[in-house]
Amino acid sequence: MLDKLRNFSKGKLAGVLVAIIIIPFVFWGMGSVFSGGNTNSIAKINNYNLSAQDFADFVNNSKISTEVIKENIDNNVLEELLTQLVSTTLIDIEINELKILISDEAIANRLKNQKNFQDENNNFSRIKYEKFLLENNISSVEFEKNIRNNELKKNLFSYIGGGIKSPYFLVNKTYKDELKEVEVDYIDLISIYTKKNEIKIDDIKKHINENKEKFLIEKIDISLIKINPNNLTGETEFTENFFSKIDEIEDLIINNNKINEIAKKYNLKVETIKEYYPKENKDDLLIEIYKKRNSSTLELLDKNDFFVLYEINNFKKLLPSLENKEFLEIAKNDLYEIKKYELHSELMKKIQKKEFENKDFSKLGKDEIKNLKIKNVNDTDKFTFDSVSLIYSLNLNNFSLVSDKNNNVYLVKIKNIYENNLIKNSQENKKYVNQTNIKIRDNLYNSYDLLLNEKYKIEVNENTLDRMKNYFR
C-alpha cells in the first residue's frame, strides 16, 4: 500500500484484511529487536506519529527472524514491514473516526468460543487460558486488548463489504471461467529454433567479438602461505607457542604488513599462483579465496588442520581462448538462447499487433502441430499454472506463448471452448456465490486502500529508517 512511502508495495491493505479475518488472534512475541526504547518518529500519518519503538515492536512481532531480515535488508524487507505497520495503523485511525465499538460481552464470547481454551466438554477452561498466557508471556489485559482490536477491524471490514450479493450472471461467469474446457492446438517451439549443432563456428566467433564484455572472466594473482606447526614453530602439534605466533601474525595484518614481510619474519615459503580461475582449477581453497577477490587483499583463514595466509596481488578481466572447447560451448549456448528469445519476441509482437493469423500458425507448425484438451483452470499436466491461467483468459482463435514446468516454450491457439451453465440453487451454486462475493469484496478492499492513500498524508523519516537498517547490517 501507500505510494507515498517511496516505492513501497501497493495493495497491502487487502492482505491485512485477509490476515485479520483468517487469523483469530495476534500472538505477540517476547523481547525486543532493539534495546533502549528509541522514541524517534519513523513515520507520520497526518498528525499521528509512529515511533521507532513502535516499528521495532512490530518487526519483533512479525515472526521474521533477525537472520532473514539481515539477508534481505537491501531487498526492502524493512520498507515492506513499515508499509504493513502503516496499513494497520490507518485501519485503527479509521475505526476511531467511524466510532466503531465492540462490547465487553462480545469479547468474552469470543474468548469462550475459542477452541484452544475449551475443555473436553466444549466449555471455557480458565486453566487452559491462563496456561496459554504464561506460555506466550502476555497478560490477560494485553491479550484481550488484541482480541478487541481484531474484532473492531473485522467490524470495519464488514462495514466496507457488508451486504454483498453477487448476481447470477457474475456467479455463472466465475463458474465458467474455472470449469470450462479449453481445447488448444500448440507448437513446441524447440522444433523451430536453429539447432545448436547447426550454428556455425564463424557465427559463434562473431557473437563473441560483438559481446566481449559478456564473456570476460576475472583471473586473479594469489600469494599464499599454508601455515602449520611444523613450518611455523618446528613442532608437530598445535601448542600455545603456535597460537601465540598466529596472534602475532594477525596483529601484523591489522598493522598493514604485506605477506612477503610476514613470510620473511617467520621464515615461511610463499606460493604464487598466476591468473587463477575456478573452472580451470577446482581446488576448494582457491575457490574460497576467489570468491573474496573484491573484499579482501590480505587475510588469515582457519582451515582446522592448518592456517592459510593469502594476498590477492592483482585481478584482471580476460577473454578465454577460442581454442577452449568449454568456452566455445558456452558462447554457442548463449547464441542459441538469443535466437530463441528473438523468435519469442518476434512472435509476441505479431500476436499483440494482431498480425499473426491462422495461416501463419499452420505455416510455422507444418507437421508439428499437436492438440490438447485442458479440463479446467487447475489442469497443469502439460503447462504451468500461470500458463493455464493465461490460456483461460483468451478468446477463441487467440494466440499466445506459454511454458511448461521445464521452461520449454510453446505457441498455442485457442481452438475450442466448451462451457456449461451453472444450475441455480444447486450445491455448486452456493460455492461459486461465495467465490464471487469474495472477488467483489477484494475489489472493494482495493478501492478502500486507494481511498485511504488519498485521505491521509503519510511521511516517512528516512533518517530513522536508515538507522534501523544499519542496525541489521
Instruction: Determine the pLDDT at residue 38.
Output: 45
Residue 180 has pLDDT above 50, yes or no: yes
DSSP 260-304: HHHHHHHT-PPEEEEEE-GGG---HHHHHHHHTTTT-SEEEEE-S
What backbone torsions phi and psi does residue 153 show, to the nearest 5 degrees? -65, -45
**Strand order of the sheet with strand 307-318?**
271-276, 217-227, 307-318, 298-302
Residue 29 has pLDDT above 50, yes or no: no
* Identity of residue 89: T
CA distances from 111 to 25, 116, 122, 139, 396 (A): 10, 9, 12, 14, 54
267 plus 304 within the same structural domain: yes
Instruction: Determine the pLDDT at residue 14.
Output: 42
Please state whether the predicted TM-score (pTM) of the whole model is above 0.85. Answer: no
CA nearest neighbour of 167 among 426, 422, 433:
433
90 plus 54 within the same structural domain: yes
Range of the domain at 20: 12-164+438-472
CA nearest neighbour of 394 among 415, 376, 379, 420:
415
Contact partners, residue 179, CB within 8 Å, separation at least 6: 376, 377, 420
Instruction: Determine the pLDDT at residue 441.
Output: 67
Residue 51 has pLDDT above 90, yes or no: no
335 plus 191 within the same structural domain: yes
| 206 belongs to a structural domain | no
Instruction: Determine the pLDDT at residue 419.
Output: 79
CA nearest neighbour of 227 among 210, 250, 207:
250
Instruction: Determine the pLDDT at residue 398.
Output: 95
379 plus 309 within the same structural domain: no
Instruction: Determine the pLDDT at residue 22.
Output: 34
* Residue 44, beta-bridge partner list: 49, 459
Instruction: Determine the pLDDT at residue 196.
Output: 67
Residue 465 has pLDDT above 60, yes or no: yes
| 212 belongs to a structural domain | no
CB 170 within 8 A of CB 176: no
| 120 belongs to a structural domain | yes
Question: What total number of domains does the chain contain?
Answer: 3
260 plus 308 within the same structural domain: yes
Instruction: Determine the pLDDT at residue 3.
Output: 42
112 plus 17 within the same structural domain: yes
18 plus 131 within the same structural domain: yes
How sure is the predictor about 55, in pLDDT bands with cuts at 50, 70 and 90? confident
Instruction: Determine the pLDDT at residue 386.
Output: 93
79 plus 185 within the same structural domain: no
| Range with lowest mean pLDDT among 60-64, 203-207, 224-228 | 60-64
How sure is the predictor about 411, in pLDDT bands with cuts at 50, 70 and 90? very high
241 plus 287 within the same structural domain: yes
**Higher confidence at residue 190 or residue 100?**
190
Answer with the one of 288, 318, 348 that is the final residue of a domain. Answer: 318
83 plus 232 within the same structural domain: no
Please write the tens of the pLDDT for every residue from 245-300.
999 999 999 898 999 999 999 999 999 999 888 877 778 899 888 888 877 678 99
Please write the tens of the pLDDT for every residue from 361-377.
999 988 889 999 999 88
Instruction: Determine the pLDDT at residue 304.
Output: 84
CA nearest neighbour of 150 among 121, 192, 114:
114
| 172 belongs to a structural domain | no
| 171 belongs to a structural domain | no
Share of the chain above pLDDT 90, in %: 28
Find the mean pLDDT for residues 222-240: 92
Instruction: Determine the pLDDT at residue 326.
Output: 85
The C-alpha angle with vertex 19 and arms to 16 and 20, in degrees rounded to 5, equals: 85
| 118 belongs to a structural domain | yes
| 445 belongs to a structural domain | yes
Instruction: Determine the pLDDT at residue 170.
Output: 72
Q: What is the DSSP letter of 408?
A: -
How sure is the predictor about 140, in pLDDT bands with cuts at 50, 70 and 90? confident
| Range with lowest mean pLDDT among 32-46, 81-95, 271-285 | 32-46
Contact partners, residue 326, CB within 8 Å, separation at least 6: 279
18 plus 74 within the same structural domain: yes
Q: What is the DSSP letter of 194?
A: P
CB 227 within 8 A of CB 268: yes
CA nearest neighbour of 385 among 404, 399, 398:
404
Q: What is the CATH number of the domain that holds 115?
A: 1.10.4030
195 plus 337 within the same structural domain: yes
The 10 Å CB-count burial string (b at 16+, else e) for 301-338 is beeeebbbbbbbeebeeeebeeeeeebbebbbebbbee
**Percent of the chain as helix, strand, coil, to the nearest 5:** 55, 15, 30
| 335 belongs to a structural domain | yes
CB 158 within 8 A of CB 401: no
